[in-house]
Structure 1
Amino acid sequence: MQRRQLLKHMGAAIPAAALARAGRAADLLTPAGGASIAPGPFTPDWESLEKYQTPDWFRNAKFGIWAHWGPQCEPEFGDWYGHFMYREESDTYRYHVQKYGHPSKVGFKDIIPRWKAEQWDPDSLLALYKQAGARYFMALANHHDNFDLYNSRFQPEWNSMRLGPRRDLIGGWSRAARAHGLRFGVSVHAAHAWSWYEMAQGADKSGPYAGIPYDGNLATADGKGAWWEGLDVQALYAQRHAVSKGDAEGGVVNEHWHWRGGASIPDQAYCDKFFARTRDLIDSYDPDIVYYDDTVLPLWPFSDAGLRLAAHQYNRSIATRGKLDAVVTGKILNPQQRRSLVLDIERGQSNQIEPLPWQTCTCIGNWHYDRRIYDNNGYKSAQTVVHTLIDVVSKNGNLLLSVPVRGNGSIDEKERAIVEEIGRWMARNSEGIYDTRPWAVFGEGPVMEEAPAVSGAGFNEGKTKPFSAADIRFTTKGEAVYAFVMGWPGNGKVTIASMRSGGPHLPRRVSRVELLGSGRKLDFRQTAQGLVVNLPAEKPALHFANALKIT
């Protein structure tokens, strides 16, 4: 289908019958670059993709850890460094000028070779994450900075084999994850480089550098005599285009992320290159899961690149593994898209049991490493992470937790302590997490009563009061129901109203209650008000969340 037709039918599905007449999936929607999709039952349209079924491995895994790590971690100054360093009013700009120099002279391209990752030890980190209870691991394959962290055939100048660490980072992460028995995923963010880097075309509005252009419009010829001589800077910055319309020009800046509100729309060559880069990533590293940091899919709805990538990955999984074993995530999905992909909610949770599996992604700090959070003891605690995990799992979801990696490839001692504490809790309580499904209700208590609904991509975490012993979350497996009490009650008793005698959720009376990790049978009585359980006199070491196994 031609680009102009896709633009005409913004958001409309491509007719399945028309695609079927086109022949094999490998021949469908071939871009100008000549790349095709793997043959198989899936075609790049929603009518085909909605036949997708989430594989059991993902539904059972529940917990993954993410290394959201790339050259933007080298300054150790937080997320979106390569964007905000070109915003004159931002703290990042001021930090950059002080540490590296003015962005007319030292742009983001000049940060990349400073990033050496000299302490990166993926095997040691994956051993730690496996011990913490993670069942899958996600590695950043590229960010909005457009720098590929693998041996990229279609971004050959700007990748980690040629610059910076001069190593195949995705290859190293993949080998370590699989050596430790973890499913492996990659996250892809580069579709947004087109608009994300637009600030690099600008200049200071005041001060000694007023009007002197930043480095976003440099050409290859400008590199003569510089360290980047012969490199095409525009292959990184992608800035030979008119910028998106700001609010003052009749645009809506908050809509640019969704390619609306006056956003500059990438050209066909950009879309074709993105498809080729991402297919190369999928084919070379065979990820179990691909996370797209996009509304619906990359470059949707003006390009079919994301549809083709999803169909390609599903077909390839069937061809190479004998079954559909792959996961593709997307954000802000309508019901049909929700059946076609796994919904990802960023830094937020659903407030209900979702009928289909989903994932929340969050971080214990900033997405990219931020030394200020370390210095100010600003990381999420293990308690907060565990409470989030339990809440998400009770609603049919998974938790993908980012542990920020320093520029040198290590994690700091405060992060390590948090991860280790999560591991100690999981060692005692993971029976109620892994391989479970939602119960009749996901929970009870005051936090449930005030939980906000998700809007947009998410971002509703932390908008309720903290969990306490008055809050309970449920999961189930086999004949057991697991009731997670989110604290230790002062009177040593738990009353679970949802399990009251004669209530609608239990077909038979409770016969046994035990505290996970102890094997000890607990005294209880089932009344018309609820199941009343007497807890042991001695609290567990990590008593901020306590799993009762009820049969």
Structure 2
Amino acid sequence: MTNFSKREILYGPLLALGAGALARVAPATAAPVPTPDGTIAPGPFNATQESLKSYRTPDWFKDAKFGIWSHWGPQAVPRQGDWYARFMYVPGHPHYDHHLKTYGHPSEKGYKDIIPLWKAERWEPEALMARYAKAGAKYFVSMGVHHDNFDLWNSKHHRWNAVAMGPKRDVVGMWQAAAKRHGLRFGVSEHLGASHNWWYPNHLYDQFWPKLGVNYDGADPAYADLYHDNRTEPFIDTKASWYTTNPAYHQLWLKRIRDLVDSYQPDLLYSDGGLPFGEVGRTLVAHLYNSSIARTGRLEAVYNCKDSGTGEFFKEGMVQDVERGVLKGINPLPWQTDTSNGDWFYSDESKYKTSREILAMLADIVSKNGNMLLNVVQYADGSMPPESDALLTDLAAWMAVNAEAIHGTRPWTLYGEGPTEAVEGMFKEKAEYSARDIRFTTKGETLYAITLGEPAGTTEIAALRAGAPHARGRVVGVELLGAGPVRFRQTATALSIDVPGRLPTRHASVLKIHQA
């Protein structure tokens, strides 16, 4: 995940290093490794698409609507934002320049030397989880492993983990315990699938004096388990090489992510991309689902991934995730937006979303049968920048009044109305909503109309005009949540509602509409 241009993402290292890098690319030659026996817990699911398509999203996820994600790890240390571990090895990129100036040349001081600097010395998972719950989150997702190949749990198969070094604490385990104590469902994210090719630049070298031809530290065999042995398979084109074709790495991924699933029994597992590695990935998902049934007596697990042209995606077998974007209209199946209030990892240069933007996005997503998974940015030490602190305070105040229009709701016949519509697709989340933009949710016989801004004077809802085909009947009462009943008129043009001059909450208001 990053805010860099597509050209930088796809071709950054090779453009920076020139034709010499391209000349070193050769096909992978690893011998096939068979899928181990016994990798799927007993149950109704197996590693075929046909089996997984019988999946049904559990009610807890459909009711939750809002989750908070800690997209956090060693890459927060340099304060430069997302994808630092990759671009610190790309000459000409700002991350490379920062690393050279701050830590030294990556042939001598590489990413392995950033990891010990991540101490998380001010991290208080219990206090943070209390604030997340108060802000309306019904599930919490911990980073499990990012593309930097550093496990944030007590990994059985990887020495580069947060218990052995860095914080020297089980980050995933401590987040899980806090989430359970505060009644939140718990999830983990894995970005390991793409790590093999994503991190290819650490195997290269400078083409500039005085380090011309000097290998980066990723070429040192002593650190091959961190940096991968992938000198012949770069990450050039997302569709062709987001995931490696190396079957040995597929099995390593399965072993480590199964350890994560078995050790922490998450309610949700997120992969950053499509489902990795064909049958190997399906094996892991089947194991996740069957393990959930064995543990709870019913299928409670959710698997998120992207329909992004990489890996597999079949909408009946998992929950679609749309990074920094939305789907068009009301989707028949539950889905999820993952986004952040700033950069994915803390950056001194990051621009933050306002509370109003977050709440407008949340209402738009929920009206379309989606959930929002929101990363709330943390400093490397575990504390929060002022923008994250203020956001949680604002969300808590808004949810204290308006949560009933979000949690446990379902879409109405229409998702909404107004002059503004978000563009469908990933990385297209920017929309300038106003109080004239309305989004609808329902709970039982009650209809909620959420204004995506602060209304003033009279709010008009055309979809609820007298005789409208979408209306269930005549409007007999309207309440402004937090303020009580308000005056209204239902005409052939619109439902006109007089809102008080002093609103009960900032940023967005909720009208509770009763029909007969």
Q: Same fold (TM over 0.5)?
A: yes
Query: What's the counterpart of residue 468 of structure 2?
Result: 503
- CA–CA distance in 2 between the matches of 1:216 and 1:333? 29
Question: Which residue does the alignment assign to 2:323?
Answer: 346
| Alignment partner of 1:534 is 2:498 | yes
- 1:29-428 counterparts in 2 under 5 A? 31-32=34-35, 36-155=39-158, 157-220=159-222, 233-244=223-234, 246=236, 253-259=237-243, 265-294=244-273, 296-299=274-277, 303-332=278-307, 337-373=314-350, 378-428=351-401
**Distance across 2 between alignment mates of 1:159 and 1:80:** 19
The 3-state SS of whatever aligns with 2:315 is helix
8 Å contact from structure 1 (residues 474, 483) kept in 2: yes
Q: Any stretches of 5+ residues in structure 2 without a counterpart? A: 1-32
Distance between the aligned counterparts of 1:508 and 1:147, measured in 2? 57
State the Cα distance separating 1:48 from its structure 2 match. 0.6
* Cross-structure match for 1:547: 510
Superposition deviation, residue 243 in structure 1? 2.9
Counterpart of 2:416 (choices 443, 450, 453) is 443
Deviation digits for residues 296-339 of structure 1, max 9, x if unmatched?
Answer: 2123xxx4221011100110111110000000001017997111
Question: Deviation digits for residues 108-131 of structure 1, max 9, x if unmatched?
Answer: 111111211111110011011111
- 1:467-520, CA deviations, whole angstroms, 9 ceiling, x for partnerless residues? 111110000011110001122344x101100011111111310111000122x2
Tell me the distance in 1 between the aligned counterparts of 2:387 and 2:472: 46
Q: How far does residue 537 in structure 1 lie from its aligned partner after superposition?
A: 2.8
Structure 1 residues 254 and 291: CA distance shift in structure 2, 3 A = closer
RMSD, aligned CA: 1.8
Gap runs ≥5 in structure 1: 1-29, 221-232, 247-252, 260-264
User: Do residues 452 (structure 1) and 423 (structure 2) align?
Assistant: yes
Partner of 1:467: 433
Deviation at 1:96, TM superposition (A): 0.4
Judging changes above 3 Å, is the alpha-carbon distance between structure 1 residues 42 and 162 closer, same or farther for their aligned structure 2 residues? same
User: In structure 2, what is the Cα distance between the partners aligned to 1:360 and 1:239?
Assistant: 33
> Any conservation in 2 of the 1:197–1:216 contact (CA below 8 Å)?
no
Give me the identity figure in percent: 45
The whole-number CA distance in structure 2 between the counterparts of 1:508 and 1:151 is 57
Shift in CA distance, 258/92, structure 1 to aligned 2, threshold 3 Å = closer
Q: Is the 8 A contact 2:124 2:382 kept in 1?
A: yes
1:262 paired residue number: none
Cα gap change, 1:146 to 1:38, in 2 (>3 Å):
same
1:234·1:240 contact (CA, 8 Å) conserved in 2? no
8 A contact 1:244–1:256 mirrored in 2: no
Give the AA of the match of 1:480. Answer: T
SS of equivalent to 1:211: coil
Letter of the 1:325 counterpart: E
Residues 96, 35 of structure 1: CA spacing in aligned structure 2 closer, same or farther, 3 A cutoff? Answer: farther
1:11 alignment counterpart: none
**Corresponding letter in the other structure for 2:406:** I
Q: TM-score, normalised by structure 1?
A: 0.85
Give, in angstroms, the shift of residue 392 of structure 1. Answer: 0.2
Moved more, 82-91 or 190-199: 190-199
Deviations along 1:171-215, one digit per CA (max 9) or x if unpaired, are: 100001101111000000011111111101111122321211111
Partner of 1:338, secondary structure, is coil
Letter in 2 for 1:269: A
**Alpha-carbon deviations, 1:94-148, whole Å to 9, x = none?**
0001110000101111111121111111001101111111111010000001111
Find the residue that maps to 1:330 and give its secondary structure: strand
Shift of 1:33: 5.2
Hey, what does 1:523 align to over in structure 2?
Answer: 487
Asked if structure 2 preserves the Cα contact closer than 8 Å seen for 1:387 and 1:486, the reply is yes
Amino acid at match of 1:274: W
SS of the residue corresponding to residue 287 of structure 1 reads coil
Cα distance in 1 between the residues matched to 2:131 and 2:424: 34
